[in-house]
Amino acid sequence: MGIISFNEIASSENAARKYFLGFCWKNHQRYCPRCRERKLYKVLDGKRRCARCHYTFHDFSQRFIRGCGFTFQQWLWFLKLFELNVHNQQIANQLKVSYATVLKAKDVLRRAILAQAPDAAEYYELGGWPGPGRPRPEDQPVDSPVFGIMEFNGFILCDVLPHLDPESLFHFRLNFRLAMTCLGQVVYTAPYQQYFMLVCCGPSFAPIQHLTHKDGRLPADSHEFWGNAKQHLQRMRGVVPAHFPLYLKEWELRHNYRDQSLVPILASALCGFVPQPPAAGEYPNPDRH
């Protein structure tokens, strides 16, 4: 997206709203976000009511974009500054919002990015929180899931591997001599099966006895994707295990679309419905059909 095009859609609140609305309803065909019923009634303030479940909603109900109190113009500028990797405090200054608001917006956007991933359902089944408007899991996982990183036709895929856990990696390390090293609580390995590395984050990987996770340079260290990810990790000076998958999916997206404007891609993710967690899935997530 060029500067002129961006200025046009960011020129007014109405233009920005229309831009985001374009990502919400395919062919402008609206349906109930809860039960997918297409028979709707118009009510006050531009809202609609479902004829089946009587849910009242507006065009952006249950979408990630409602997870932060930004105006549509602020969201557009936030996406542009996010694309450019502008520092959090500078974003806060430019948008005239608090630092905490910027952190919240980034969390919402990263969860929106993850929700578009093919393996998002597996992540939620392992206890990941889908995002705003959904109940948080009672127990947060101590460690992040184990991810397998592979390259396919120039694209990076960060796959959740639900059948593996920290104990599995220790088993591979001790019994099969799988090389492993760490960056803080983030541990990554030499190639495994079709993946050029496995990676996980959490306190369960704390060095024990002779197992120090300090093997020499691994093949992943020479890969462009992981080289950039390591730079981000070093600047962050630590990452919460529950948030590690969010960062990983962000880095995956940045790498795969490094030659394109990210604003339309991020806007599309932001306009997606927040998935229902598995335990509370009374209604299916409309975007997964």
In a domain? residue 135? no
Residue 132, domain member (yes or no): no
Q: What pLDDT sits at residue 257?
A: 95
CA gap 134, 275 in Å, rounded: 8
* pLDDT tens per residue, range 173-203: 888 888 988 888 899 999 999 999 999 999 8
Q: Over the chain, what is the mean pLDDT?
A: 89
Distance CA 166, CA 187 (A): 10
Q: Is residue 93 part of a domain?
A: yes
Give the pLDDT of residue 263.
96
pLDDT value, residue 208: 53
Q: Tell me the average pLDDT across 111-135.
A: 94
Reported as a pLDDT band with limits 50, 70 and 90, residue 215 is low
CA–CA separation, 288 vs 14, rounded Å? Answer: 29
> What percentage of the chain has pLDDT greater than the value 90?
68
Helix axes 263-270, 99-115, angle to 10 degrees: 80
Token pair, residue 20, equals 């985001």
Within a domain: residue 49? no
Q: Does the residue 215 lie in any domain?
A: yes
What are the b/e assignments for 223-254, b being 16+ CB within 10 Å?
Answer: bebbeebbeebeeeeebebbebbbbbbbbbbb
What residues contact 100, with CB distance under 8 A and at least 6 apart?
none
* Beta strands across the sheet bearing 40-42: 40-42, 48-50, 56-57
166 and 87 share a domain? no
145/254 same-domain check: yes
Q: How many CB atoms lie within 10 A of CB 134?
A: 16
Number of structural domains found in the chain: 2
Residue 39 lies inside a defined structural domain of this protein: no
Distance CA 5, CA 253 (A): 22
Q: How far apart are CA 33 and CA 285, in angstroms?
A: 8
Domain of residue 252, residue span: 141-258
Residue with tokens 């960056």: 183
Report the alpha-carbon distance of residue 181 to residue 72 in Å, rounded: 43
| Sheet with 197-201: strands ordered across | 155-160, 147-152, 197-201, 186-189, 180-183
Angle, helix 72-83 to helix 88-95, in steps of 10 degrees: 150
Amino acid at 120: A
- What's the pLDDT tens digit per position in 71-117? 999 999 999 999 999 999 999 999 999 999 999 999 999 999 999 99
Cα-atom radius of gyration of the chain, to the nearest Å?
A: 21
- Spatial separation of the C-alpha atoms in residues 228 and 218, rounded to whole Å: 15
Q: Specify if 180 maps to a domain.
A: yes
Residues 272 and 225 in one domain: no
Residue 252, pLDDT > 90, answer yes
Please name the helix (run of DSSP H) or strand (run of DSSP E) that holds residue 3, with its range, or none.
Answer: helix 3-9
Please indicate, yes or no, if residue 32 is contained in any of the structural domains: no
Higher local confidence (pLDDT), 1 or 41: 41
Mean pLDDT for 131-136 is 91
pLDDT interval class at 51 (50, 70, 90):
very high
